[in-house]
Structure 1
């Protein structure tokens, strides 16, 4: 069957490097008219050999004016990022040069500017990568820490995609055995073959449960561990946040209630992204604005991965402050004003608190203890993210689909071991489990996911 002209896919182009002035700017093209575009841009020259960088003069095909002298790389389908004919123009990075080339490309027939994530979207649709790898591309571009980059690279290499496809293949084999017993009861199918499937289903269900019981470590590493800094007014919360950030983030005054709304700052602690949230001081007040700040502080503390409780031991009873903050076991406690405390203060405070909470004494005036606090937070964050090792689920979408697969698989296993098993229902449950796994990698129902996923991407990727 031939493809009509009206259904022929358009060739897309976009700048792949950040906007602004630079040494080099890269413009990417992908689609069936890529070679024609290269011929138009480099008049009188043969097409470059695939996958070899060639020096070419880039000219306006209408006026003949030379725009730049650039390196051109050409890729032929299917051996390209998108699976289509593709090319890269490595130009000098001046804004005038880039704008001129973009303007010329926009005038060529069959070409149009790319949309956000469209190059990677085409790679998914052509089978060059699955959805988990495509998401990893976006995660790698957005990575702020070494841990996030390492996790994204592992995902791009297929850590989750390969595992999901292996689970799916095993479920398909189990479903085929059930279908054989349903459809061919008089054929030479071993008696009780359905019961032989039960151990395999239980093994897969165990693997599902282990993957889901990861404490959201993959999502935490990708999104960053959220730490709410809580405590009474004037305990030193804002000073502590400023000291950890190394710059003035929050306003610091002696007046209680200065912080009214949550202030966020992103940190990189030993390769783990961490978001500190400076919250309003926890106290009873008649000021309606401050009351709203306190309400928001309690809400953010409840949602956070950790609550960093800041206590001024000179003015506040530790037990009361911890109760007000709603701390959980493992939440760290920071005592400020270390420069004013007696030498045995640490032992006394530790005895009062018990052993459920890491404890650090700091002074935001002298900087004493700040290194210990940063190390404690890094250790706690690494514990919540598993250090980035082995986590396969990195997005809520993955977790929801795997949870749906687990529910369907549990139903299938229960139906299979029922005294009067209804194999038709078991087969349907296995199909539902396979479909849920397929949605993770894009095997099925891919179209409704693409817009949501690729709107996160930058233009040119």
Structure 2
């Protein structure tokens, strides 16, 4: 089956996940969508598909493409055709469709064999297989979506939490696109006034003063900073976070994992070095998707298997969004805070003091305070045996990535690394423009900075985006979307 072709080709693909299911959908889009679909459907109401009302489901038999030996006969070859399935067919006339083109969908039974045969028949009568993300790419190219909305389609599909879904839906509705477009329009308006002043410089006409420019650019920069401040939380909500449990052997890392997920996922023994490989489990706290990773205890060892586990533990810590470094309260008390081997200070690390149930209550508070003073950071006392401190630990973890109440938050949230980079690029250009204003720089250079800022924002919504960027974005989609 061919997959390469021109944008004007009519494309088809299975639009639902592979496997068994109640319903499976094959989507066709392009200028010949109805002609191709008409060769494969027999409407129970008779008549041709394009004569029926658009956006209406019709009961139909879906038949296979003709055999090659019947190619010279009149179409349809009713004596030779074979019914693949009974299903529903809907015709959506462009531009009132997802892609902006004529679209036909077959709603079949969700058998992988049925879907494969229908898709093969579509190709046999003139369609080609869609490339990854090609339906959404056509929606963007045909003006149905801006680029930020197209990316929100993928975010909606991959949403791991209610918060992630809410943000993706806001961007799909165009909240981010409108916000960015308003900022870009303001920049272009300022640019036009600056360039008009350049064109009429001989006539001593001022279309905008430097004071007006400064105020306007400072306001735009402030608005960009406001949404940039949401980037860390937005990424955490979109992708989830990885929290690694690290520390010496036998401090209770595996017990902590089991306690946090409420399951005996990791083996717990008194034998040091029990955990040799990474153990991962996903949880959902306060709408935030979190992957907890238990790791091998950090120590010097001659065991080659344990050495590999420790190597993987260090790699996991380097890649983590947050590390819970677990230490044994009893061991710290025995050795003394001044002699205990603590980890290096790391902003991505929380110190968890486990086994506090063994200590006398009068001992815990001064020990925690001494540790906090020694390490210059907060100490989180817990007991995996009694559960004490676990709720506070969960709250501390989520508060590192969730600021404020996102459930009630209605503003624009940045979740995409590409969007963040573009906004930072725009900010840099605006700062350069402000510096030029303060230093009395030439208007021509100021106009260049304003153009750069507007172009950076245009990259978010696709006004100015290279083919390479588009290819990278849509290649992340599945074929049916």
- Count of paired positions: 453
The answer for the alignment partner of 2:243 in structure 1 is 227
SS in 2 for 1:432: helix
TM, length-normalised to structure 1: 0.88
- For structure 1, list consecutive stretches of 5 or more residues without a partner in the other structure: 1-5
Query: Which of 43, 46, 49 is the aligned partner of 2:48?
Result: 46
1:341 CA displacement: 4.3
Aligned partners of 1:177 and 1:194 also within 8 Å: no
The answer for the alignment partner of 2:212 in structure 1 is 196
1:237 CA displacement: 0.7
1:123 CA displacement: 0.8
CA shift digits 1:75-113 (9 cap, x unpaired): 11111101111021111223332232122112112x011
The answer for the alignment partner of 1:424 in structure 2 is 444
Going from structure 1 to structure 2, the CA distance change for 1:180 and 1:275 (only over 3 Å counts) comes to same
1:351 CA displacement: 3.7
Query: Which of 316, 320, 324 is the aligned partner of 2:342?
Result: 324
TM, length-normalised to structure 2: 0.84
Query: Which of 423, 427, 433 is the aligned partner of 1:406?
Result: 427
Please give the alpha-carbon distance, in whole angstroms, between the structure 2 residues aligned to 1:323 and 1:452: 46
Please give the alpha-carbon distance, in whole angstroms, between the structure 2 residues aligned to 1:271 and 1:68: 41
1:252 CA displacement: 3.7
Aligned partners of 2:380 and 2:389 also within 8 Å: no
- For structure 2, list consecutive stretches of 5 or more residues without a partner in the other structure: 67-79
Comparing 306-315 with 168-177, greater Cα deviation is found at: 306-315
The answer for the alignment partner of 2:119 in structure 1 is 102
* Structure-to-structure mapping, 1:18-417, within 5 angstroms: 18-43=17-42, 45-47=47-49, 48-62=52-66, 63-109=80-126, 111-186=127-202, 189-190=205-206, 193-214=209-230, 216-247=232-263, 249-285=265-301, 290=306, 293-294=309-310, 297-298=313-314, 300-301=316-317, 303-317=319-333, 319=337, 324-327=342-345, 332-337=350-355, 340-344=358-362, 346-354=364-372, 356-357=377-378, 359-364=380-385, 370-371=390-391, 373-383=393-403, 389=409, 390=411, 392-417=413-438
CA shift digits 1:144-167 (9 cap, x unpaired): 211211121122122221111111
The answer for the alignment partner of 1:13 in structure 2 is 12
1:316 CA displacement: 3.1
1:299 CA displacement: 5.3
Going from structure 1 to structure 2, the CA distance change for 1:37 and 1:308 (only over 3 Å counts) comes to same
Going from structure 1 to structure 2, the CA distance change for 1:386 and 1:320 (only over 3 Å counts) comes to farther
1:452 matches 2:472: yes
1:417 CA displacement: 2.8
SS in 2 for 1:227: strand
1:245 CA displacement: 3.0
CA shift digits 1:370-409 (9 cap, x unpaired): 5554454344443499669445221111111111111111
The answer for the alignment partner of 1:3 in structure 2 is none
Going from structure 1 to structure 2, the CA distance change for 1:192 and 1:207 (only over 3 Å counts) comes to closer
SS in 2 for 1:324: coil
